[in-house]
Structure 1
Amino acid sequence: MASMDRNRRHANASELNNLVRRNIETLLAVREKMERGKTHREMVADAITRFAGSMPFVYIHALLFGGWILLNLGIVPWIQPFDPFPFVMLAMIASVEAIFLSTFVLISQNRMQALADKRADLDLQINLLAEHEVTRLIGLVDDIARHLGVTSGQDANLDELKRDVRPEEVIEEIERAARDRPGT
C-alpha cells in the first residue's frame, strides 16, 4: 500500500515537473521570439543602456573625467591644459552624453513597459479564465452535494461564489472605494 502511494506521488510529481518544464520552455520561447522581433534601433538602445548601467562604464568615466581634470589643473607638468575655461568643455560633453543616455534609457524603458503591459494582459486573461473555471467547479460540486443529499450548513457566500466575477464591476468598485476613502 505504501509503495502504491509513493508511486502515485512520484507520478503526480513527475506530471507536475513536466507541466512546469513545459511552461518554462514556453516562456523562454516567447521571450526568444520577442528578442528576435526587436528592431535594430531597439537592439542598439538596449545595448547602450546595458553598457551604461555597468561598472566598466563607471570605470571608463572615472578615468576619462579624472584624467581630464588632472590634465586641465596643470598637475602634469609636460602637458599644457587644453580646456581654456575651467572644465566648460567637460561639463558640455557630460551634459550632451547625459541627454543621449537618458534618451536611450527611455527607449528601453518604453519597450519594457510595452512588454510588461502584454504580460499583464495575459495574466488578466489567465486569471479570468481560472476564476471562471473555479466558479463552474463550485457550482458543479454544489450540484453534486445536493444530488447526494450532503449538506454542510449552506455557506452564506455560496450563491455569490457560483456567479462569475465581472471585471468591470470590480474596477468600478475599486474606483468607488478610492473616491470614498478619506484623505484621497
Structure 2
Amino acid sequence: MIEPHQGMGATLRQNIDDLTSRQREDAERATFSDKLADRITRFTGSMMFVALHLVLFGVWISVNLGVLPVLPRFDPTFVALAMVASVEAIFLSTFVLISQNRMAAIADRRADLDVHISLLTEHELTKLAGLVERIAEKLEVRPDDPAFAEIHADVQPVQVLDALDESRKEKGIDR
C-alpha cells in the first residue's frame, strides 16, 4: 500500500500537516451559529434533502389534489404550501449566505497568505539574482538576456495594485 505522503519531501509533508492542523483549529474556533449554518447548508445541498422534499411535497400535493385520499384535503389552494416553501427559502438562503461569508473570509486569508509568500519569494529571488550576478562577474561570465537587469529590483506591490486598478478603469472593468 502506498502511503499518501510517499515521495514528498519532509518540508512539504510538514506544511501539509501544519495547514491541516490550522484548518482543524479554525473549525473548532467557529461560533455555534457558524457551525449550525454550515451543517444546515451541507444538508440542504445533499440528495437526501432533495429526496425528502420530493416525498414531502409530493404527498402534500397528492393529498390536496385528491389523488391520495389517505388524508382529507387540508390545503386545496396550495397557499399554505407556497408559504411554507417561501419561509423555508428565506431561511435557507440566509444560512447559505452565512456559510458563504465565512468561506469568503477564509479565502481572503488564504489570498493574503499567497500574496505574502509570493512577495517573500520575489524578494529572495531578487537577492539570489544579485548573488548569481556577482558570481558571474567573478567568473567573467556575461548574461545573454537583456531582461536580466529587470530582476534586480524588488516588486512594489502597492504600485502593481495601482497599475492593475488603472488598467481596469481604462478598460471599464469594475471590481
- Equivalent in the alignment of 1:162: 152
- Equivalent in the alignment of 1:139: 130
Following superposition, the deviation at residue 176 of structure 1 comes to: 2.4
Whole-angstrom distance in 1 between the partners of 2:70 and 2:19:
60
- Equivalent in the alignment of 2:3: none
Cα RMSD of the aligned pairs, angstroms, is 1.6
Whole-angstrom distance in 1 between the partners of 2:37 and 2:67:
38
Unaligned runs of 5+ in 1: 1-12
- Equivalent in the alignment of 2:79: 88
- Equivalent in the alignment of 2:11: 19
Q: Give the residue type in structure 1 aligned to 2:134.
A: D
Whole-angstrom distance in 2 between the partners of 1:177 and 1:159:
25
Following superposition, the deviation at residue 78 of structure 1 comes to: 4.5
- Equivalent in the alignment of 2:168: 178
- Equivalent in the alignment of 2:110: 119
Query: Between the two proteins, what is the percent identity of the paired residues?
Result: 49
Give the paired residue count.
168
Whole-angstrom distance in 1 between the partners of 2:126 and 2:132:
10
Q: How does 1:10-159 map to 2 (within 5 A)?
A: 16-83=8-75, 85-153=76-144, 155-159=145-149
Residue deviations 1:12-66 (CA, integer Å, cap 9, x gap): x96x521221111011011001101100111110000000000000000000000
Whole-angstrom distance in 2 between the partners of 1:159 and 1:17:
33
Unaligned runs of 5+ in 2: 1-5
Following superposition, the deviation at residue 125 of structure 1 comes to: 0.4
Whole-angstrom distance in 1 between the partners of 2:73 and 2:20:
54
Is residue 63–residue 70 contact of structure 2 (8 Å, CA) maintained in 1? no
Residue deviations 1:157-180 (CA, integer Å, cap 9, x gap): 222211000011111222222233
Is residue 126–residue 153 contact of structure 2 (8 Å, CA) maintained in 1? yes
Whole-angstrom distance in 1 between the partners of 2:83 and 2:167:
50
Find runs of 4+ consecutive structure 1 residues off by over 3 angstroms.
none
Q: Output the TM-score relative to the length of structure 2.
A: 0.90
Q: Output the TM-score relative to the length of structure 1.
A: 0.86
